[in-house]
Each structure stands twice: as C-alpha cells, then as structure tokens.
Amino acid sequence: MKVMVVGGGGREHALCWKLKRSPSVREVVCAPGNPGIARDARCVDVSASDIDGLAALARDEQPDLVVVGPEAPLVAGLADRLRGEGIAVFGPGHEAARLEGSKSFAKELMREAGVPTARFVTHTEVDAAIATIRDWGAPIVVKASGLAAGKGVVVARSADEAEAAARDMLAGNRFGEAGHEVVIEEFLEGEEASCLFLVSGDAILPLDSSQDHKALEDSDRGPNTGGMGAYSPAPCVTPEIADTVLERIARPTIAALKARGIEFVGTLYAGVMLTTEGPKVLEFNVRFGDPECQPLMTRLASDLGEVLLAAARGQLDGIRLEWDPRAALCVVAASRGYPGAFEKGQEIRGLDEVERAGAIVFHAGTAKRDGRIVNAGGRVLGVTALGDTVAEAQAAAYAALEKLDWPGGYWRRDIGWRAIARERLVQTRAAHEKAARGEDA
C-alpha cells in the first residue's frame, strides 16, 4: 500500500523509517518531511498546518492510508476533512483531539470519567489564578490550556514563580491563544512514564512502555522542553501498573468520549505520574510522543503499516504487537540555547559516522542548504541505539554521538538514568542472592 505521513519532525522520521521497512508498504510519501525523512520517503513541500493543501495532496496521491504525526493538524480537523473525502486516516478527529488541544477539556473529562489525576482549577483571569496559587501554596503546576509545543507547563517551586508564570501566560501572551486559559494543578510526587495506546473504537492496544526526559539539563533540572530523550521499555512500568493504566485510565477515557458521541481512532498517549496512590494522569496527547516514538519504532517488530491501517478501518481487534526484547534509547541533540533563542543555519557534520557507529539518526529540526545539513529548529536530531539493557543502549547512543561534529549542538548526558539505576539495583541483588546460595551450599 501507499502511506502518506503528515509532519516533518523526529516522530515523523521514525514513523516513515518504520513504514519503509514494513512488508505491507510499497511507498511512503511525507508532507513536508525533512532531509532525513527524504532517505525513507518521497517528501512533498506542503506544510503540516496547510489543511487545504494536505487535502489536495491526498486527493492527488490517493494513499491507502494517511498517518497524521503532529497534534496541531489533528486539532485543526485534518482527520475529519480526509475521512469526509473517503480516505483512511490514523489520527483522531477534531473533537477527540481536544484531549490534547484543551487541557481544561481533558481535565473535565477525566473528572467525569473518574480517571485519577491531580486536583485542578481553570482560570482565564490573572487575579483569580493568583488567588488559587496563594491559597494552595507551592510547589504547584501552571499549564497553558492550549497547544504550546510541549513548553506550556511550569512546575513552580515557589508561589512567586507560579504567579509569574500565570501572569506571563494570561497577561503577557507568552503562548498566544494557547495561554489565554490556564490550568492550575496540585504538584504530584513520583516518577513519570509514558503509556501509549493504539485505539480504534472500543479496541485499545497498548504499546510497550517508555519514559521521556522533559527537563533541559542533567538530573532533570532546568526548564521544560518538548523532550530531550526517551527510552523503552521503562522498568518503572511494571505489568501491574500497565494493567492499571489500561483499565483505570485508557478505557474510562475512551468510554467517556464515546458517551459524548466522540469516536477515537489514533494514538492515545497518557503521561502518568506513578504516585504512592497509583498512576495519575499528568496530560493526554492524541499522537505518538516525540521523542518516545523513536525508541518505540526502533523496537517494534510488527508491520506498522498493517497495524495502523487496521486501526483506521476499525479492525484493530485481534491484532497483537511484537517487540524486540532489547532496550532502545534516544538522545535528542538540540540547538544550544533551546528552548529559548538559538542560532539557525549551523552546519552539522559527521552524521554518516554516527550511523556507522551503530546508531540510527532521526532528523527533527534539520534543513538542507547548498548540499549541507544545517539546524533549522530547537530539537534537531534523535540519536537512537539498541542494547540488551538500557545501560547498554545508553552507552551505544553516547558513543555514536561522539562522532557528531556540531559545535552548536547540546544534549543531556544522562538519558535513561532512572532505568539504569534500577538495573544496577537488580544486578546487585542478584549477585547477593547468588553469593548467599553459594554460602548455603
């Protein structure tokens, strides 16, 4: 079949890369794509925000399936438009996409469905938001309700920081329309994990677990970003926790949408905090995570095209996913200065050497200028490697990154640190048990 992918970031490169390697897929077209995606798909220069242009492209290309990567065109109703023209689409319509497009909608739906999440209130006025912050105290979380490219969340350690964030969003117009409504949430303690599901009507198919690193700096310090790296599987998500997220979060959410007459077809991404009271939802996304998609697609052994087409056709029941038992880890190389101001147009060398060292390079914010690859965005590359353990995958990814020649690049040095600490603990316990058995013998 022919598949058309919408988007031009690292997530879309991972999808195109996997689709190209799917036996059911004969051709992949991507709009707009990027220089890395061009190795795996035929790129057509139509913006992911150009709904009319994408609809015209789909009419011209006549794909068997359209996979919509980013959230913005989903919120804008691209999937509805294409389905209205008889095209099979993997991605939710506008109403279902409000789960990500409006945090206030998502929180109200969770309250209605009994889905565990943080206590919250929504505000559109600065004074009311500040009153809540002063009443609740810090730490506290302030979120822009609309789409903010993963950067509209402030985890404030002081009331002053929270008040400044609320003013910045509501009065300072920092996130434009996305910040004209804010959600104030209680701060949740625990470890965060990404739990993704392929959904088609009542059928919900879990993907393997993953974990994202949203903070800019090592040890999870600094401002939030769109994600500085991810790995899969995430040892913190035990089989029991995975089952709880499926039964207490994913199923009730999809059922609540259905009760409102809203059908969900696509990826449901639940960002959850693993608290002492059990998993609680931090946010919902309605597409594959970025950068979680990169390690997930690297590990997926099933035919992605076949699976996504089945979902688009309402035939997901009975589908089973196969996974590479190894771990995969993705390190994001970003432009120095991101998520603030940064210089574009810097040449990036050594990409072939990175791949010869055993990693896969997924392009996110790159462009081609005079035959050279240059940075064109904040998050630029996703260097992804496999290993028998998360520690081995991490070592392979960072060893490959040593081959990258890009002085203007920045990346964290500790992606996967929580999982590696767990692995070492398990190894230590196993060694102690082995020694004890030897002594008993």
Distances (CA, A) of 137 to 141, 159, 181, 221: 10, 6, 20, 21
| Domain identity same for 227 and 194 | yes
For the ranges 54-58, 139-143, 290-294, the lowest mean pLDDT is seen at 139-143
| Domain identity same for 16 and 66 | yes
Model confidence pLDDT, tens digit, residues 62-73: 999 999 999 999
pLDDT greater than 80 at residue 441: no
CATH number at residue 235: 3.30.470.20
CA–CA dist 370, 242 (Å, integer): 48
Q: Is residue 113 part of a domain?
A: no
| Domain identity same for 337 and 390 | yes
Mean pLDDT of the chain: 95
Q: Is residue 164 part of a domain?
A: yes
Total structural domains in the chain?
4
Pairing of strands 409-410, 327-335: antiparallel
Percentage above 70 pLDDT, the chain = 98
Q: Is residue 102 part of a domain?
A: no
pLDDT interval class at 178 (50, 70, 90) = low
CA–CA dist 166, 169 (Å, integer): 5
CATH number at residue 55: 3.40.50.20
| Domain identity same for 226 and 267 | yes
The pLDDT of 75-94, averaged and rounded, is 98
Q: Is residue 439 part of a domain?
A: no
pTM: 0.93
Q: Which helix (H) or strand (E) holds 29?
A: strand 27-32
Q: Is residue 318 part of a domain?
A: no
Q: Bridge partners of 197? A: 206, 268
pLDDT greater than 50 at residue 272: yes
pLDDT greater than 90 at residue 46: yes
Domain stops at, among 312, 341, 359: 312
pLDDT interval class at 105 (50, 70, 90) = very high
| Domain identity same for 223 and 271 | yes
Q: Is residue 429 part of a domain?
A: no
CATH number at residue 346: 3.90.600.10
The whole-number pLDDT of residue 356 equals 98
The whole-number pLDDT of residue 180 equals 81
Q: Is residue 111 part of a domain?
A: no
Q: Is residue 105 part of a domain?
A: no
| Domain identity same for 261 and 179 | no
The pLDDT of 90-95, averaged and rounded, is 98
The whole-number pLDDT of residue 179 equals 62
The pLDDT of 343-352, averaged and rounded, is 98
Q: Which two tokens stand for residue 280?
A: 């609680």
The range of the structural domain enclosing residue 73 comes to: 2-93
The whole-number pLDDT of residue 439 equals 60
